[in-house]
């Protein structure tokens, strides 16, 4: 399989080069906005400045870049027959809409977190949302990441929040409470709260807390190394082979039974 890497100079992009090769696939090339600054890399893999040029060389693109690229990448990939494994977070409603539309014509795997462990945390969070009444159990999600991260709350925190909301049969937008500050008033019953911490080089930490007057249950996940994202994304890329058009997630890739 020929795999292209969008964002090949990035923190995850660089690990993807190693993990694609370790999986026995070929790195068909990568995108960067500044190939002249990546001369070492250019000696190793073909570099392109556009998604269209990369798409001509591969069967699947793994994309860890920036939310601003999503709409143009969707346009570039539709109709090419290339599958898209997208890890980028911080997508707006319009960008998510472009992804959804593109998936009518192509195979897309989108996950805010390609770690199998986080995928299971999402599943457990949904089950807890279903089992623990919102009137009694306050759900709060706390995440911490490195100082370079540009979006908050993290895509993973939002995906976990979506899972809790799904379990509770509510829309996350209707119950989300982010970044409390000042005279906020008491906590709203049924709210799903988010707190985002930033510092140093923390790879990724997520805690989901369900707290009642009588007990507290916490689900905790710690990523020790970004490689877990790269291996998960490569696994998703290999899984796309022969898959029909549609929007898939990491639960599909892991083959978890539907809830
Ligand atoms: N789903 C998952 O499992 C994970 C998702 N992520 C997400 O993946 C994305 C990338 O993360 P990470 O590798 O840490 O980020 P980096 O900033 O290290 O890498 C992103 C790369 O994207 C390229 N890029 C292309 N367009 C833009 C743009 N408009 N603005 C900024 N950069 C751009 C840059 O390369 P150049 O300058 O060469 O063009 C950059 O090197 C983030 O959204 C992050 O949240 C991160 C880890 C795991
Ligand atoms: O930017 C990161 O680093 C990460 N981003 C993803 C997110 O926003 O959830 C996944 C992981 O937490 C690391």
Residues 92, 121 within the same domain: no
Cβ atoms 9, 65 nearer than 8 A: no
The whole-angstrom separation of Cα 182 and Cα 120 is 35
Ligand 2 centroid distance, CA of 95 (Å): 18
The range of the structural domain enclosing residue 189 comes to: 116-223
Residues 210, 238 within the same domain: no
**Is 110 annotated in some ligand binding site?**
no
- Give percent of the chain with pLDDT exceeding 90: 98
Over range 61-78, report the average pLDDT. Answer: 98
Q: Does the active-site annotation cover 57?
A: no
Which pLDDT score is estimated for 69?
Answer: 98
Q: Does the active-site annotation cover 149?
A: yes
- List pLDDT tens digits, range 100-116: 999 999 999 999 999 99
Residues 13, 103 within the same domain: yes
Over range 197-223, report the average pLDDT. Answer: 98
Which pLDDT score is estimated for 105?
Answer: 96
Q: Does pLDDT of 259 surpass 90?
A: no
Number of domains in the chain: 2
34 CA: nearest ligand 1 atom: 38
Ligand 1 centroid distance, CA of 110 (Å): 15
Q: Is 204 in the pocket of ligand 2 (CB under 6 A)?
A: yes
Which pLDDT score is estimated for 204?
Answer: 98
Q: Which of 66, 110, 149, 241 is catalytic?
A: 149
Q: Which ligand has the minimum distance to the alpha carbon of residue 229?
A: 1
Ligand 2 centroid distance, CA of 251 (Å): 17
The whole-angstrom separation of Cα 135 and Cα 53 is 53
**What is the three-state SS of the chain?**
CEEEEECCCCHHHHHHHHHHHHCCCEEEEEECCCHHHCHHHHCCCCEECCHHHHHCCCCEEEECCCHHHHHHHHHHHCCCCCEEEECCCCCCHHHHHHHHHHCCCCEEEECCCCCHHHHHHHHHHHHHHHHCCCCCCEEEEEEEECCCCCCCCCHHHHHHHHHHHHHHCCCHHHHEEECCCCCCCCCCCCCEEEEEEECCCCCEEEEEEEECCCCEEEEEEEECCCHHHHHHHHHHHHHCCCCCCEEECHHHHHCCCCC
In a domain, residue 259? The reply is: no
Residues 210, 135 within the same domain: yes
Cβ atoms 166, 129 nearer than 8 A: yes
146 CA: nearest ligand 1 atom: 14
Q: Hey, whose CA ends up nearest to atom 4 of ligand 2?
A: 204
Q: Which of 110, 145, 206, 221 is catalytic?
A: 145
Residues 179, 230 within the same domain: no
**150 Cβ neighbours under 8 A, 6+ residues apart:** 66, 90
Sheet order of strands, 83-86 included:
47-48, 26-31, 2-6, 60-63, 83-86, 107-110, 246-248
Which pLDDT score is estimated for 68?
Answer: 98
89 CA: nearest ligand 2 atom: 8
Ligand 1 centroid distance, CA of 65 (Å): 3
- List pLDDT tens digits, range 1-54: 999 999 999 999 999 999 999 999 999 999 999 999 999 999 999 999 999 999
The residue to mutate among 16, 61, 65, having the most atoms of ligand 1 within 8 angstroms of its beta carbon, is: 65
The whole-angstrom separation of Cα 174 and Cα 189 is 12
In a domain, residue 140? The reply is: yes
Residues 40, 61 within the same domain: yes
Ligand 1 centroid distance, CA of 159 (Å): 18
Q: Is 156 in the pocket of ligand 2 (CB under 6 A)?
A: yes
- List pLDDT tens digits, range 130-177: 999 999 999 999 999 999 999 999 999 999 999 999 999 999 999 999
Q: Hey, whose CA ends up nearest to atom 11 of ligand 1?
A: 64
Residues 85, 123 within the same domain: no
Q: CB 183: neighbour CB atoms within 10 A?
A: 4
Which pLDDT score is estimated for 231?
Answer: 98
In a domain, residue 33? The reply is: yes
Q: Hey, whose CA ends up nearest to atom 2 of ligand 1?
A: 113
């Amino acid at each position: 399989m020929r795999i292209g890497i969008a964002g090949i100079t990035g923190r995850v992009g660089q690990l993807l080069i190693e993990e694609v090769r370790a999986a026995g696939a070929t790195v068909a090339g990568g995108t960067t906005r500044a190939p002249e600054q990546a001369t070492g890399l250019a000696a190793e893999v073909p570099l392109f400045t556009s998604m269209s040029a990369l798409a001509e060389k591969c069967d699947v693109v793994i994309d860890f870049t920036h939310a601003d690229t999503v709409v143009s990448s969707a346009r570039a990939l539709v109709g090419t027959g290339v599958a898209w494994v997208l890890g980028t977070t911080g997508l707006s409603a319009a960008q998510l809409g472009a992804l959804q539309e593109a998936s009518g014509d192509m195979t897309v795997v989108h996950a805010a977190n390609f770690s199998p462990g986080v995928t299971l945390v999402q599943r457990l969070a949904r089950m807890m949302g279903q089992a623990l009444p919102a009137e009694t159990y306050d759900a709060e999600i706390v995440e911490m990441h490195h100082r370079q991260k540009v979006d908050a709350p993290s895509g993973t925190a939002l995906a976990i929040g979506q899972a809790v909301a799904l379990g509770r049969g509510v829309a996350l937008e209707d119950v989300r409470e982010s970044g409390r500050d000042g005279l906020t008033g008491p906590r709203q019953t049924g709210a799903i709260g988010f707190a985002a911490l930033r510092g140093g080089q923390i790879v990724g930490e997520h805690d989901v807390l369900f707290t009642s007057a009588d007990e507290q249950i916490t689900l905790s996940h710690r990523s020790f190394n970004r490689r877990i994202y790269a291996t998960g994304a490569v696994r998703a890329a290999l899984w796309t082979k022969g898959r029909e058009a549609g929007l898939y997630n990491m639960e599909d890739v892991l083959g978890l039974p539907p809830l």
